[in-house]
Structure 1
Amino acid sequence: MERFALARELVLQAGAALRESRLREDEIQHKSGYQDLVTRWDKETEQFLRRGISEAFPQDIIVGEEYPAANEGAEGCTWYLDPIDGTTNFVSQHRNYAVSVGCWRGEEPLFGLVLDVERPALYWAQAGSGAFRDGTPLHTSRRREVQELLLTVPGVPRTLLNPHPRQEGLLRLAREVRGVRSLGSVALELCALAAGEADLFVTLRSCPWDHNAGRIILAEAGGSLCDLEGEFLPLDRRTPVLAANAPETLRLVRERYLGAAE
C-alpha cells in the first residue's frame, strides 16, 4: 500500500475509534500547565498511527506530539502526527478536534490529511493535485479587503491579550477585520481557510505536528502562509504562523499590521 492510501486508512480508523471513545477525569493529565492537556486517547491514537506507519515503512521518520521522534537521521520520508489536535475541545466539548497527518520528503510536501472527527469530514491534499473535503474540491475565498476578512486565532490570550512585540499590530488587525473567531485547533483552522470559511489565521506558537498537514491542504487550495517575518515555516520546530487566503492578502497584512517593508 502506498503512503497516502495507508495514511487515509489509518486516519479514518483512528477517527472512528475517537468518536466512540469515553473519557474519565482520571484519564486527563497536564503537561506544561493546566491549559496543556493530554489524555490516554491522545497517546493511544498516536501509538496506533505510529505502529501502522512503522510496519509499512520502517525506514521513515515519525515526528509526533506525544512521543520522541522515531528514526531521526534516516533517509525515508518524514511523517508529522497530531493524534488529537484540539485536546481541550475533545475533553470539554467532544467536537472541534482533529486527527492530523502530514508527510514530507525533506522540504518537499507529499500529502496532508486532517480529519474533523465529529463532523465527520476528511480534508486532504496531495502535492500538485488540489485540495478536497471528502470528494469536494476546495478553494480559498476571494475576499481581499480587510473589512471583509474573517480572522481565526486558536489561542486568543497568547496572541491578542498577553503583551508581546506584535500585540499592537495584531490588535489593530482584529479591530479592523469583519470578525475574529477561535476554534482551538490549528489544523482545523487552516482547513477552514482552505475551504473559504475564514480568510486569515495567526498564532504565536505552533508545533510541526500542528501545521505540517494543514499547510499542504491550504497551499493546494490557493492559500499562503509564513512566519511573522515572512519566512518559510520551519518543518522541525515551534514557530509563529501567519496564513491567508492568497499571497496578496498575506503581503497586505504583513505590510499594514506587522511592520514589514513594502
Structure 2
Amino acid sequence: MTRENKWIDIGEVAKAWVVEAAQQIKQALEGTFNVEAKSNPDDLVTDVDRSTERFFYEKVTSHFPKHHFLGEEGTAEKLDRLDGTVWIIDPIDGTMNFVHSQYHFAISVGVFHDGVGKVGIIYDVMNDEMFYAVQGEGAYVRDTKLKTITTSSVNESVVGVNARWLVEQRAPFRGELERLVRDVRGVRSFGSAALELAYVAAGRLDGYVSLKLSPWDYAAGKVLLAEVGGTITTLQGEELSLLEPSTLLAANSSLHSAIVDQYIKGE
C-alpha cells in the first residue's frame, strides 16, 4: 500500500470486490438457486449467499493473507478475538428480500483493525447505491459526501423497527418498544439491517432498533455512523460486540439518548 492512509487503498480494493460480487449475484438471479432454512423457517440462506461469501473469503485470503475473516455463512473458522485486521462480511443482508422480491438487499463489508472500524461498505445491489466510509475520511453515498446527521426529538423522528418485535409475547423490551412506536412520528421496516443503518447515516431514517443482530449485520454500518456523528450501541447504550449477537440502537445523538434514558431505562 503506497498511500499514507493505507485504509483508503484497502477501501478501494474492497469496493471493487463488492461491485464484482454484485454482478455475480445479479447473474445468479437470472437462473435458479437453492433456498434453505437455518435456525428457523424464516431464517433463510441460499447457495448464492454461500458462493458470495466464498468469493470474498478467497479474495481476502489471497490478497491479504495475514488478515482474518468473519462471515455469516461460516466459510472461515469462528473468531474469538479481534487482533489484527478482520474483514466482517454479510454476503447478502436481507436474504428474505432476495428470495421473495429479488430487491432491497445489500452486501455489507466492514474492515476492522484491533477492534477499530477502518472501512465500511454497504451496497444496495439492485439500486446500484453504494454507501462507504474510511475512518477519518468521511462517509459517502455514491460520490456524494454525507453530512453530519441532524438531531431530532422522539416525536419528530422516523425510526426503523421490525414489527415482529412488537407482537411476540416473549420479546424483550416489547413494552418499551410499544411506547416508543406510539410516540415517534413514523415507523419503517425495510428487511435489511445493513440498509437501515446506511439510511440512518444518510439521514433517511432518524434511528434504527433491533433486538437481535450479528456483527456482520452492523459492522459496516458502525463505520459509516462514526463518520457522520451517529451513535450505535446495544439497546441499553453499551458497546456493541463484534464477536457475538446483540441488541442494537443506532440514531442521531439526541434521539439515541432519549430512547435509552426515557424508554429503555425509564429514567
* TM-score, structure 1 as length reference: 0.93
Q: State the number of aligned residues.
A: 258
Is the Cα–Cα contact under 8 Å of residues 65 and 82 in structure 1 kept in the other structure?
yes
CA–CA separation in structure 1 for the residues paired with 2:245 and 2:78: 20
Is the Cα–Cα contact under 8 Å of residues 203 and 242 in structure 1 kept in the other structure?
yes
Evaluate the alpha carbon distance shift between residue 167 and residue 75 of structure 1 in structure 2; reply closer, same or farther with a 3 A threshold. closer
CA–CA separation in structure 2 for the residues paired with 1:56 and 1:198: 36
Q: CA deviation at 1:122?
A: 0.6
Q: CA deviation at 1:165?
A: 3.9
Q: Give 1:148's match in structure 2, choosing from 156, 166, 179.
A: 156
Q: CA deviation at 1:132?
A: 0.3
Instruction: Give the match for residue 91 of structure 1.
Output: 99
Evaluate the alpha carbon distance shift between residue 253 and residue 44 of structure 1 in structure 2; reply closer, same or farther with a 3 A threshold. same
Q: Give 1:252's match in structure 2, choosing from 255, 258, 261.
A: 258
Evaluate the alpha carbon distance shift between residue 243 and residue 69 of structure 1 in structure 2; reply closer, same or farther with a 3 A threshold. same
Is the Cα–Cα contact under 8 Å of residues 59 and 71 in structure 1 kept in the other structure?
no
Evaluate the alpha carbon distance shift between residue 183 and residue 59 of structure 1 in structure 2; reply closer, same or farther with a 3 A threshold. same
Instruction: Give the match for residue 187 of structure 1.
Output: 194
Amino-acid identity (%): 36
> 1:125-204 maps to which residues of 2 (within 5 A)?
125-139=133-147, 141-153=149-161, 155-157=162-164, 159-163=165-169, 164-204=171-211
Instruction: Give the match for residue 6 of structure 2.
Output: none
Query: Structure 1 regions of 5+ residues with no counterpart?
Result: none
CA–CA separation in structure 2 for the residues paired with 1:170 and 1:91: 28
Is the Cα–Cα contact under 8 Å of residues 140 and 199 in structure 1 kept in the other structure?
no
Question: SS of 2:29's equivalent?
Answer: coil
| Pair 1:15-2:22 in alignment | yes
CA–CA separation in structure 2 for the residues paired with 1:91 and 1:147: 35
Question: SS of 2:28's equivalent?
Answer: coil
Query: Structure 2 regions of 5+ residues with no counterpart?
Result: 2-8
Is the Cα–Cα contact under 8 Å of residues 82 and 99 in structure 1 kept in the other structure?
yes
| Pair 1:80-2:88 in alignment | yes
Instruction: Give the match for residue 51 of structure 1.
Output: 58
Q: Give 1:63's match in structure 2, choosing from 56, 59, 70.
A: 70
Query: Aligned Cα RMSD in Å?
Result: 1.8
Q: CA deviation at 1:74?
A: 8.6
